[in-house]
Amino acid sequence: MTAHLYPDASGHFGEYGGRFVPEALVAALDELTAAHLAAKTDPVFLAELDRLLTTYAGRPTPLTDARRLSEHAGGARILLKREDLAHTGSHKINNVLGQALLTQQMGKRRVIAETGAGQHGVATATACALFGFDCTVYMGEEDTRRQALNVARMKLLGAEVVPVSSGTRTLKDATNEAMRDWVTNVETTHYVIGSVVGPHPFPMMVRDFQRIIGVEARRQVLELVGRLPDAVVACVGGGSNAMGIFHPFVDDLEVALVGCEAGGDGVETGRHAAPLTAGQPGVLHGARSYLMQDDDGQTSDTTSISAGLDYPGVGPEHSLLRDLGRATYSGVPDAWAMQALEKLAKSEGILCAIETAHAFAGACDWGRAQVAAGRDAHDLVIVVNTSGRGDKDVDTAARWFGLVTGEQVAESELVRAHEGEQP
């Protein structure tokens, strides 16, 4: 595979991607494609984006040598690409700043977004505050509950948060509502999609804005180790942090690319969110890609402890990488992810997002499997994309590990119910 060949001019990654959208959106997608392609080679745009990423978002993010975590990965050396240290606490800001600049160029002043874990919503609300745009974020009702901290952050940043109570009340339905808003208000509004999903040009454009993760990581690991890593590991919800770190390594065939989907209660139970592991090609939210669906083509319900991975679809470029065998994907169950979250916290002093914890579980697994297959652990270097920090997940984690008493749980629920009553 030659990474730069995809997508083709019509937005297809092999047989994936494309545009499966209401006709009403096509003109806006064409406009956006033209704006993005022009911006890609526009020195003024690139300099402005670079300035924002450097002086506002805090790039480049460091590469941290996680010495104590190594014992959990069969002794392999683990390097953390620290997107959790970027402004707003995750990689999502990279994409949002790029799209905010494009929004400004296109002369639009209203921005909408969907969010699952709330990190993309927070990043969007942040950029809108910076650029002076009106901001509306759609979020599944279930996710407003489990990611309450991020709801408060978005509101403090001046965004309107619209809870979505249709369907599964999670990221999928928040995306449906955002699409419905966009179909209605497309003249004035830009829809900042938060991952490498959606109709062309989003999968390409979001990847291009997230590639900075992999570009930096590749340079940093060469400086630190003197060679390319054996594996690059990332969690996969829609797939933006993974695509961002994978892409600059795609043509380095000696580097294994490992994607960790949400295994939920275990892929074998059917209760998970792992379309690349256990789905079939289908169409959702504007693109053809692997999809969790039943045999009648209805989208399946998903299960994951992580709101940011709890999504039945995935970016089309991952579907291509999967079919080509260039990247491998598997489902990491909730329990493994939470175990990994605890290990990382206690061995490195880094409390990561639950999404990110899936990548650590997958990285440890990959390292141990290599050692079991006879590789020398001291020769193995694994880069893990540390996509976000875990402040938003403290509540969920505290319950998982039994760190709050029943009384405290009841009380926090009472507070929340009370908050819900306020206008």
Partner 1 sequence: MSRLDELFARCRAEGRAALIGYLPAGFPSYDLAVEAMLAMVEEGVDAVEVGMPYTDPLMEGPVIQAAHERALANGTRQADVLRTVEAVAATGAPAVVMGYWNPVHRYGFRRWAQALKDAGGAGAITPDLIPEEAPEWLEACRDLDLDPVFLVAPSSTDERIAVVGRTNRGFVYAAAVMGVTGARAELGDGARILVERVRAQTDLPVGVGIGVSTGAQATEIAGFADAVVVGSALVSALQERGVDGVRRLSAELAEGVRAAVRP
Give catalytic residues, as residue numbers.
Answer: 92, 114, 387
Hey, how many other C-beta atoms are within 10 angstroms of the C-beta on 412? 15
Residues in the chain: 423
Q: What is the CA radius of gyration of the chain?
A: 20
Residues 6+ apart with CB under 8 A from 374: none
Compute the distance between CA of residue 56 and CA of residue 272 in angstroms, rounded to an integer: 36
CA distances 99 to 49, 73, 79, 191, Å, are 10, 37, 29, 9
Cα angle vertex 364, ends 362, 365, to 5°?
60
Residue number, 93 or 287, with CB nearest to partner 1: 287
Which partner from the list ligand PLP, partner 1, none does 185 bind, CB cut-off 5 to 8 Å by kind?
partner 1
Which partner from the list partner 1, ligand PLP, none does 131 bind, CB cut-off 5 to 8 Å by kind?
none
| Nearest CA-CA partner of 333 in 313, 362, 307, 353 | 362
* Residue burial 244-266, b: 16+ Cβ < 10 Å; e: rest: bbbbbbbeeeebbbbbbbbbbeb
- In angstroms, give the least distance from the CB of 121 to ligand PLP: 9
Chain contacts with partner 1 (rule: CB under 8 A): 10, 18-28, 166-167, 172, 176, 179-180, 183-187, 280, 282-286, 288, 291, 293, 295-299
| Nearest CA-CA partner of 132 in 150, 110, 113, 99 | 110
- In angstroms, give the least distance from the CB of 294 to partner 1: 8
Which partner from the list partner 1, ligand PLP, none does 130 bind, CB cut-off 5 to 8 Å by kind?
none
- In angstroms, give the least distance from the CB of 69 to ligand PLP: 18
Residue number, 18 or 333, with CB nearest to partner 1: 18
| Nearest CA-CA partner of 275 in 244, 318, 308 | 318
Chain contacts with ligand PLP (rule: CB under 6 A): 90, 116-117, 119-120, 195, 235-242, 308-309, 353, 355-356, 387-388
Which partner from the list partner 1, ligand PLP, none does 72 bind, CB cut-off 5 to 8 Å by kind?
none
Which partner from the list ligand PLP, partner 1, none does 238 bind, CB cut-off 5 to 8 Å by kind?
ligand PLP
Residue number, 117 or 341, with CB nearest to ligand PLP: 117
Residue number, 90 or 220, with CB nearest to ligand PLP: 90
Which partner from the list partner 1, ligand PLP, none does 183 bind, CB cut-off 5 to 8 Å by kind?
partner 1
- In angstroms, give the least distance from the CB of 353 to partner 1: 26
- In angstroms, give the least distance from the CB of 340 to partner 1: 32
**Exposed (0-12), middle (13-18) or buried (19+): which is 384, by Cβ within 10 Å?**
buried
Query: Any idea what DSSP says for residue 273?
Result: B
Residue number, 158 or 163, with CB nearest to partner 1: 163
Compute the distance between CA of residue 384 and CA of residue 257 in angstroms, rounded to an integer: 10
- In angstroms, give the least distance from the CB of 172 to partner 1: 7
Residue number, 116 or 229, with CB nearest to ligand PLP: 116
